[in-house]
Amino acid sequence: MADPFLFISRIAVLIVVPLMLLFPLVFAMLVPNSAGSDAGRIAVRGRTLTLVLATAVLSGLWVGLMIAGLRFPDAQSIANYWWLWFFPLWLFLACPLIAIKRPEWGSDLLGLGWPGGSTADGGEVRSASLINRERCSPVTRGMWAAPILALLLSLAAIAARGMLPFPTHADAAGGGALAARTARQRRT
């Protein structure tokens, strides 16, 4: 009988990888364009074309690897991890495009210097905190109770396992119920 997990994982690859590759493109296309200037619209068009081409090339390469994987197992292994291309598509192509399309969402989402508007030029006013942050932890002592309790319970379960009696050779060879049942099964 075939392993059902193997079948499920192969079907999951056929679903997850295309979804991960298409998500940045679909999300960026669904964001409404509020770029006011002509330069912004041209930048949106160019970056959208770049994202479309990159998604098409990566999807085509994935399909090629899946087809080659029928004959070469190494190609199938590479295709199984092709979903990792989501991160460059999202971080370096889709997020800058979204920042140009919607400058009010903030441009420097991850500190990568993406184009678009910025909150520093007339946006939100920030103030300094007068609390010494070195001594103030946002995690209270009560919040540590659940992880410590889970750790202690897992250690207790491991320790309790050591208290269980181990089967001996006398039980297996002697008059144990398991030995009697296996002896009857051998006779039939």
Give me the residue spans of the domains in the chain.
Answer: 20-105
pTM of the model: 0.57
For 78-130, how does the pLDDT look when each residue is reduced to its tens digit (9 = 90+)?
999 999 999 999 999 999 899 888 877 765 555 555 554 444 455 556 666 67
pLDDT tens digits, 39-93: 888 999 999 999 999 999 999 999 999 999 999 989 999 999 999 999 999 999 9
Q: How confident is the model at residue 24 (pLDDT cuts 50, 70, 90)?
A: very high
User: How much is the pLDDT for 85?
Assistant: 96
- The pLDDT tens digits of the residues spanning 130-143 come to 766 666 677 777 88
Give the Cα separation of 93 and 90 in Å (integer).
6
pLDDT at 118: 47
- The answer to whether 54 touches 16, Cβ cutoff 8 Å, is no
In this predicted model, what pLDDT tens digit does every residue of 153-182 receive, in sequence order? 999 888 887 776 666 655 555 555 666 666
